[in-house]
Amino acid sequence: METTQEIVQAVQAAGVTGAGGAGFPTYVKLQAEAEFVIANGAECEPLTHVDKQLLIHHAPEVIAGLRAAMQATGAARGILGVKGKYKEIIAGLKAVLGNTTDITIAELGNFYPAGDEQVLVYDVLGRVVPEGGLPINVGCVVQNIETLYNIDAALNGRPVTEKYITVIGAVRKPMTVKVPIGVTLAEVLALAGGATVPDPVILDGGAMMGNVVGDLNAPVTKRTKMLLVLPYDHQLSVKRRTPRTVFDAHAIAACDQCYMCTDYCPRHAQGHAIQPHKLILLLASGVPMTDAQMAGALLCCECRTCNYACPVHLAPGDIALNIKRDLLKEGFKNPYHRTTEADPYRDYRRVPMTRLINRLDLAKYDAAAPLTAVTQPFSRVELRMSQHIGMPALPIVKVGDVVKTGDLVGEIIKGGMGAPVHASIDGVVRQVSNEFIVIEAN
């Protein structure tokens, strides 16, 4: 068995970063001392299947990664958070766990956003993460399922060179695939048979938290998890293309301050000082974005649950997240750090997944998307030096170098926080810049 230091070093050298969202370097999280490591298998973004497929096909590796994370952080207990409705997956996990008692399974409800890490920590342990805080403030490290799989791979000498992605929506064959990091989004879309609609709009990351893909030639990164393909006139496509000035103006004109958005906000339900209805009131009053009263937006987790809640179809979530991003750009720091209590009515303000899928007009796309083997070779990859939170990696190869899959091509600056980058196909380095490296197959 490896020591804590060996685990942290292996995970750092393998370039493991959070595969479920922001891309935080995993080795940093593993250096914390924790009571619990929670595996986040909630996968609450509608129609995502990556975690489910990994738990079906790679449960032993995920559990081994969880045990390694527990060892690194000194956590005596591991908890696998999985939706209770996935009976077969839970049976499979129990079969792998056998009689061991260090890891238990927490059955989660089928609602959005069950996978928000603060929601997860409260649902599993009844602990409220403080405002502006992290799960570690209440003794927990939360790791995404694919991240745990990658931790185990790192300990077996395999760096992160591939990514699991669900391709779903208006495509011929919805599926979950494993592809080399750096292939284009267009190539991933083609694996699923391509779009079935003209002028598709593609949301990278899904219906609630995803962003519109502007360039299908953009490369897959360690953070790519889902491509949701939608018709041009689908309600989500239209909403995501709506300029900020328009949805701000709609909210200022039409918000009746009913408070529903704030009632449904999962972070407000933690007792945190985020109130989307109030942000709209401030906008309508002409208060500048940088006014201290706007600071509650810094507590927004960008889940857009409040958009679902609004009875007149405004976009309070987009308003909150844009204010938050503006404040961060201006260098504002979150002033709220209170220890809070959860709202006693929190559990009555959840968004049932089936209702959300129907409300978003996604029911016709609610398909299985099974893990499907990719047999075709890829001829070119573009590896971004910044696929994670922290400093970009520095290229250590030059044009003409021959590399093999798994070779280190970008390293972390000494003492900096970041993640190294590895070749994801065998080939020759064709381009090198501070932003990316291009490798072409031999």
Among positive and negative, which fits the CA dihedral 141, 142, 148, 151?
Answer: negative
Which amino acid, 18? G
Q: Which of 105, 260, 357, 381 is in the footprint of ligand SF4 by CB under 6 A? A: 260
Contact 386, 435 (CB under 8 A): yes
Ranges within 212-251 binding ligand SF4 (CB under 6 A):
251
Considering only residues 18, 133, 169, 316, which one is a binding residue for ligand SF4 as defined by CB under 6 A? Answer: 316
Q: How many residues bind ligand SF4 (CB under 6 A)?
A: 29
The Cα–Cα gap between 108 and 351 comes to: 13
Span near ligand SF4 by CB under 6 A; candidates 147-155, 295-303, 388-396, 430-438: 295-303
Q: Which one, 59 or 321, has the nearer CB to ligand SF4?
A: 321
Instruction: By CB under 6 A, name the one of 76, 312, 328, 368 that touches ligand SF4.
Output: 312
Pair 24, 389: CB distance under 8 Å = yes
The minimum distance between CB 257 and ligand SF4, in angstroms, equals 5
- Closest CB 26 distance from ligand SF4, rounded Å: 24
> Is residue 261 within the footprint of ligand SF4 (CB under 6 A)?
yes
327 binds ligand SF4 (CB under 6 A): no
Minimum Å gap between C-beta 308 and ligand SF4 is 9
Q: Which of 115, 231, 317, 395 binds ligand SF4 (CB under 6 A)?
A: 317
Least CB distance from residue 321 to ligand SF4, whole Å?
6
Q: Which secondary structure element, helix H or strand E, spans residue 107, and what is its range?
A: strand 103-108
Residue whose token pair is 């449904």: 264
Residue at token pair 């669900």 = 166
C-beta closer to ligand SF4: residue 102 or 256: 256
Q: Is 392 in the site for ligand SF4 (CB under 6 A)?
A: no
153 binds ligand SF4 (CB under 6 A): no
DSSP 334-387: ----------TTGGGS-EEHHHHHHHTT-GGG-----B----S---EEEEES--
Should residue 276 be labelled a site residue for ligand SF4 when binding is judged by CB under 6 A?
yes
Question: Contact 427/403 with Cβ under 8 angstroms?
Answer: yes
**How far is Cα 28 from Cα 12, in angstroms, rounded to an integer?**
8
Query: Rounded CA gap, 249 and 251, in Å?
Result: 5
Both structure tokens of 371: 């893990």
Q: Which residues bind ligand SF4 (CB under 6 A)?
A: 251, 255-261, 265, 267, 274, 276-277, 280, 300-306, 309-310, 312, 314, 316-317, 320-321
